[in-house]
RNA sequence: GUCCCCAUCGUCUAGCCUGGCCCAGGACACCGGCCUUUCACGCCGGCGACGCGGGUUCGAAUCCCGCUGGGGACGCCA
């Protein structure tokens, strides 16, 4: 809790928010919360071509779902045009920027040529020293960067990273249409918003020296940088759609809990000794860049799944019920407007939370409880609801009907007694009953099922099965 | 191609900064067993790594150099 900290997450709205973005957001958020600082959300929508409103909506929805709350924003760069124009003018007047009339085609050609010769494909400075103004010709504004020396980027995670200025070129600040480019706005915005620490993906490290030069040219103090590693797919290639689901909301649809997602992503690159399970409070308390790894990490769906199972098991039933409810509706187990409240839904959870890896799985397994009509699995029916089962079911019905203390203990005593009388095994009795009550061979413990359904419903289902044989 | 980053079990990681406590610890996955009314859960056990080559040192996973490998950047994308 030393100096005030202000960080930001700045996604571009050109698609859904993916896992890698979430982790960047999370590290920013954790750092801010740990230091009692500010977390800003800024939408980098300077690319008119590809930015969409739907993306913005989805990004906000993802952040909310994951509980990554922001203190300022969401700012949108398209609404801040004025300040960019002003800063470009400033650089222009100070001789730190110039007009460039090279066409994209020309530049493309030069780049290819340079690359063919094995040279760095950078801008050759054709317009850097030109003094004439070509009225009416389209032009961009470029930054007149220093020509020699080196830039030292001081990274919190990697130490001092040195770049030779000769590797850099005069980047474009403003496009032909007058809109600013990323490397420029990011500097202006971060400085203007008072960002103290820029925490972002590794892929931005090589942009950083250019940005440092811009900070210097604009007389801004450079923020501190922390470039976190990227997330890779199982084949060690950059994580993309072909590795499966990469959008945050896709995980919500698949029935993952935000707590599991957050815990998983936090441990991807960050650690605190051998601890694997972290509450939000613990993460915030322990988070530090001192314990953040710099090597790239492979996304492991199995471990995410394990964490999801863990949180399904340990979240209090009523709380989990609130997260399960929309899934019950989306999977069609319940109709919207079902009228059940969380406490009613929560009743099935204790019997299911050790058997479901996701909320979707849990919803499917809870059908027997919410649907009054038993949906029979044909194979289960022919295998277990047989003539042999008839006398067994009959005894269960006879035993359950008058039972005074309708409890698991009493039911168990009854089952044991029937097994003994019939000279059979518990499995031979439990399976037919299970099929009669749930329609399938797989369910929670049979006594739990009976208790859950209640005596009345149990007897109805047992009788139906009995008569159908 | 050039520049930059990275390198411990299949995967996530602890250890590395401040060499000996590490013939390397934990977790996921996998395999075997136990428990058992189904399916799971759980419990117990097993398999499994310091990329390679040079140094420095009494001693290196830990420090230095090279190599190799992986990733990233080089856009009027962000």
Residue A135 is predicted with a pLDDT of 79
pLDDT at A249 over 90: yes
Which bases of chain B are contacted by protein, using any atom under 7 A from a CB? 1-8, 10-15, 25-29, 36-41, 70-78
Of all nucleotides in the shown strands, which has a C1' nearest the CA of A238?
B71
Residue A2 is predicted with a pLDDT of 52
Q: How far is the CA of A261 from the C1' of B68 (A)?
A: 35
pLDDT at A343 over 80: yes
Residue range A395-411: mean pLDDT, rounded = 89
Residue A245 is predicted with a pLDDT of 83
Q: For residue range A164-183, list pLDDT tens digits in order.
A: 999 999 999 999 999 999 99
Q: How far is the CA of A265 from the C1' of B47 (A)?
A: 28
Residue A117 is predicted with a pLDDT of 81
pLDDT at A1 over 50: no
Decide if A120 is catalytic. Answer: no
pTM of the complete model beyond 0.90? yes
Q: Which of A419, A427, A374, A377 is nearest to A399 (CA)?
A: A419
Weakest-pLDDT range from A61-70, A189-198, A334-343: A334-343
pLDDT, chain A, mean: 93
């Amino acid at each position: 809790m030393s100096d005030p900290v202000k960080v930001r997450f700045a996604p571009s709205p050109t698609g859904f928010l993916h896992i890698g973005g979430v982790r960047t957001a999370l590290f920013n958020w954790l750092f801010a919360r740990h230091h009692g600082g500010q977390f800003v959300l800024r939408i980098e929508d300077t690319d008119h071509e590809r930015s969409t409103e739907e993306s913005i909506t989805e990004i906000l929805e993802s952040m909310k779902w994951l509980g990554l709350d922001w203190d300022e924003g969401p700012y949108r760069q398209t609404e801040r045009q004025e300040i960019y124009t002003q800063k470009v003018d400033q650089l222009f007047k100070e001789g730190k920027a110039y007009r460039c009339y090279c066409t994209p085609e020309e530049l493309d050609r030069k780049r290819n040529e340079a690359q063919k010769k094995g040279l760095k494909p950078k801008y050759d400075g054709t317009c850097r020293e030109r003094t004439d103004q070509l009225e009416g010709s389209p032009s961009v504004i470029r930054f007149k960067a220093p020509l020699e020396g080196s830039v030292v980027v001081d990274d919190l995670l990697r130490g001092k990273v040195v770049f030779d200025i000769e590797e850099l070129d005069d980047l474009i600040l403003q496009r032909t249409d007058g809109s600013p480019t990323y490397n420029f706005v990011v500097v202006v915005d971060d400085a203007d918003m008072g960002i103290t620490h820029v925490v972002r993906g590794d892929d931005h490290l090589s942009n950083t020296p250019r940005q440092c030069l811009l900070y210097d040219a604009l007389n801004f103090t450079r923020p501190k940088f922390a470039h976190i590693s990227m997330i890779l797919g199982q084949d060690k290639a950059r994580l993309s759609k072909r590795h499966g689901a990469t959008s945050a909301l896709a995980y919500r649809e698949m029935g993952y809990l935000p707590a599991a997602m957050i815990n998983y992503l936090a441990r991807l690159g960050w650690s605190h000794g051998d601890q694997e399970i972290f509450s939000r409070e613990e993460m915030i308390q322990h988070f530090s860049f001192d314990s953040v790894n710099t090597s790239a990490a492979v996304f492991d769906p199995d471990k995410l799944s394990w964490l999801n199972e863990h949180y399904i098991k340990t979240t209090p039933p009523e709380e989990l019920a609130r997260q399960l409810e929309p899934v019950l509706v989306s999977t069609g187990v319940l109709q919207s407007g079902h009228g059940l409240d969380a406490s009613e839904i929560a009743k099935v959870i204790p019997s299911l939370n050790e058997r479901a890896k996701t909320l979707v799985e849990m919803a499917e397994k809870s059908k027997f409880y919410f649907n009054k009509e038993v949906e029979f699995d044909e194979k289960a029916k022919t295998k277990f609801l047989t003539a042999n089962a008839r006398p067994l079911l009959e005894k269960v019905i006879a035993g359950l009907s008058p039972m005074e203390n309708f409890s698991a203990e009493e039911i168990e005593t009854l089952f044991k007694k029937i097994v003994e009388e019939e000279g059979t095994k518990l499995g031979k009795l439990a399976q037919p009953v299970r099929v009669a009550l749930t329609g399938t061979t797989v369910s929670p413990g049979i006594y739990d099922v009976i208790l859950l359904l209640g005596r009345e419903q149990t007897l109805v289902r047992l009788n139906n099965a009995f008569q159908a044989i």
